[in-house]
Amino acid sequence: MKDYNFFEDYQTKRGISIDIKSPLFIAALVLLICVAASIGLVGRNLIMTSQIGSINEEIQTLQASQKYIKASQLELSVNSMVQYDQSAQGVMQTFLSSSVIGTEFMKTLAHKLPATVTMTTFTLDNASANFTFNVPNRKAAAELLLSLKDSGLFQYVELSTVFTDDTNNSTAGITAILKAGEVK
């Protein structure tokens, strides 16, 4: 007689068999990967948040220190000085490019003065120049006037005053209008 074991089918199926090609296994694997990635990203985010917090605390303590405050004030001062230097350079370039009065103008004017004449004052208002010269006599004042007219520096030259004091020293006042854009 043969022994029948009715539990034989159940006993052999005790182990779990995994079918890699089944859609349920693939879905479970994708879900497991997503959960693991999410946990990793959350952990990374928590670590980075704590690092950022500690760095912010260090920055706040540095900013509160006297050295940082002094360095910040020095940086502002240096930036202000740099802006001032740039502005000053711009003004200097504008002045140099305006060609109103420069070294060439002064050299030419000095060469045109007679040897006995000295300039005491010189004022410039736009293109109008006013000079005061010490001259030994009226003849020297006339020579000075002709010399300034022939200098090529002025459009118009006029002897406005000649004054002689008690010691026979004369003062000549000359008004002139500069030529525009020709003198350096």
Determine the Cα–Cα distance for residues 131 and 125; give it in Å rounded to an integer: 12
**Contacts of 21 by beta carbon, 8 Å cutoff, 6+ apart:** none
Residue 142 lies in a domain: yes
Residue 82 lies in a domain: no
The boundaries of the domain holding residue 166 are 103-178
Residue 15 lies in a domain: no
Task: Determine the pLDDT at residue 163.
Answer: 86
What value, to the nearest 5°, has the Cα angle with vertex 104 and ends 176 and 145?
A: 30
Residue 158 lies in a domain: yes
Residue 88 lies in a domain: no
Point out which residues pair with 161 in neighbouring strands.
173
Q: At what angle do helices 66-98 and 23-64 cross, to 10 degrees?
A: 80
Residue 65 lies in a domain: no
How many domains does the chain fold into?
A: 1
Confidence of residue 123 (pLDDT cuts 50, 70, 90): confident
The pTM of the full predicted model, rounded to 2 decimals, is 0.44
Residue 137 lies in a domain: yes
Determine the Cα–Cα distance for residues 52 and 55; give it in Å rounded to an integer: 5
Q: What is the pLDDT of residues 38-54, one digit of tens each?
A: 999 999 999 999 999 99
What value, to the nearest 5°, has the Cα angle with vertex 144 and ends 140 and 147?
A: 135
Residue 122 lies in a domain: yes
In CATH, what number is assigned to the domain containing residue 164?
A: 3.30.1360.100
Q: What is the pLDDT of residues 50-103, one digit of tens each?
A: 999 999 998 888 888 888 788 889 999 999 999 998 888 887 777 666 655 667
